[in-house]
Structure 1
């Protein structure tokens, strides 16, 4: 056998061996790109699966949750709020069952009821706001309602505490006065004969401090900017239950000097006027 023929046979044997070794190796594939939201944020499976509503009915309690379409633009917040609200509703249902069982079933009494409705406030380039309204009935003359507010930093993907919106001085007296003025204006709008309230009043009702009341951003007259803050005041806080709840708007001009530098540019112009009643 000539040297050239021997080299050719060795080459064929090596190629055959390599082919056999690679036959069982899975083909390499390029992983699919991660799904992203419109803002470019990666959408995790948990985020993508967060529903827009929840409902549960048992003999002891009926509970429900609704979310606004606007929350789809913030998938991290969507998943977080859905999980927290559903947890609250399930705890309510479990508590209702325990309560009613201990009371012997309360024959003839309907199931307890709790609903959570999340609705949009205004949105700016940096901030996104939502209103959470809880309404529950466990017997008695009427259901009870309460408000909470969510302020979300879209770039940082985290919730902003109400205090973070303002400077660290802690002096919100100007905002307290502006809120009290707006409350009295709304009371007089509803009933010209309504009694006014004050910050230092000794009567049953008085103006609350701004730091104790949840608020969301107010729609503004300038695109992409908030024109003020909408304070969410529940029944009994500034008047009898028959007065109902209040959503009172304070223009940004009344508290602009109090805004933290990080968020001052999110406010401009004035609150957008409410549509005229027809």
Structure 2
């Protein structure tokens, strides 16, 4: 149902023992807050040129960076330009930082170039909505690279970015949505490991290392649907270290529209129908 994915800039060693696990989790969350994914403008960005690129790549002795966008984004030129421009700016800043970092260190010490890859995958599109999700991956040394999720929700008519709050009706019980998500996370953890501890909302309790994520800790995208032209629900993308150790990977949790329909904003409720297809793996 879920797969390991890719992440923002952070340096971590493999977790060793319970104390190291707790420390890594805390550090991870702090560094994620300090190095967010590229910010996509919320409002109109101006029409993109017909040949606006779907890819960008740059390589030198300091860093290798790459951006990939799906062909479907060309149908939303304002979004296309906004995502491309913000991502390229992010990658160029990363290259500049890599050069400064490694020059200051007096050389690369035989280490390969730093790496940052931003890759948006297949889009989910309805009459009013366009959902774009993907991953980022960054390596700046250490035991492994660091993955993270990315997602953009776009109102096609308004030509602007929206967020989860816009999809929920005013006064919607966000706690109910967090409980649904928590139950789904626990179900997936049991699939991966039948002996996995059961997580709860709020701070970890009774010596536990992890807890269920708050909505603010998740990246939210549109789930594909078995009904063409509709979204099957919402996909909650949870990176490593949020609900488990790095080795456990990230989580892609689909909450079907049938389970959350009572919480949806009437302005968007008709964009949802069917169910998310079963994930492979």
TM-score range, shorter chain: 0.7 to 0.9
- Contact 2:70/2:123, CA 8 A, preserved across alignment: no
What are the ranges of 5 or more consecutive residues in structure 1 without an aligned counterpart?
1-42
By how many angstroms is 1:193 displaced? 2.1
Q: How does 1:26-37 map to 2 (within 5 A)?
A: none
| TM-score (normalizing by structure 1) | 0.79
Q: Confirm whether residue 167 of structure 1 aligns to residue 169 of structure 2.
A: yes
- Contact 1:85/1:116, CA 8 A, preserved across alignment: yes
2:117 to 96, 115, 118: 115
Q: Confirm whether residue 244 of structure 1 aligns to residue 230 of structure 2.
A: no
C-alpha RMSD over aligned residues = 1.7
Aligned twin of 1:181: 183
- Contact 1:52/1:67, CA 8 A, preserved across alignment: yes
Q: Confirm whether residue 47 of structure 1 aligns to residue 49 of structure 2.
A: yes
Q: Confirm whether residue 220 of structure 1 aligns to residue 225 of structure 2.
A: yes
By how many angstroms is 1:165 displaced? 0.9
* Inter-partner Cα distance in structure 1 for 2:124 and 2:232: 9
* Inter-partner Cα distance in structure 1 for 2:74 and 2:124: 15
* Inter-partner Cα distance in structure 2 for 1:114 and 1:220: 31
* Inter-partner Cα distance in structure 1 for 2:111 and 2:261: 51
1:178-230 CA-partner distances (Å, limit 9, x unpaired): 10111111111122222221113422111011243111111123222212111
By how many angstroms is 1:148 displaced? 2.1
Aligned twin of 1:194: 196
- Contact 1:174/1:254, CA 8 A, preserved across alignment: no
Aligned twin of 1:155: 157
1:21-45 CA-partner distances (Å, limit 9, x unpaired): xxxxxxxxxxxxxxxxxxxxxx95x
* Inter-partner Cα distance in structure 1 for 2:74 and 2:123: 14
1:266 match: secondary structure: coil
Aligned twin of 1:106: 108
| TM-score (normalizing by structure 2) | 0.78
* Inter-partner Cα distance in structure 2 for 1:108 and 1:187: 39
Structure 1 ranges of 4+ moved more than 3 A? none
* Inter-partner Cα distance in structure 2 for 1:58 and 1:237: 33
1:136-166 CA-partner distances (Å, limit 9, x unpaired): 0000011111112100111111111221111
* Inter-partner Cα distance in structure 1 for 2:114 and 2:217: 29
1:255 match: secondary structure: helix
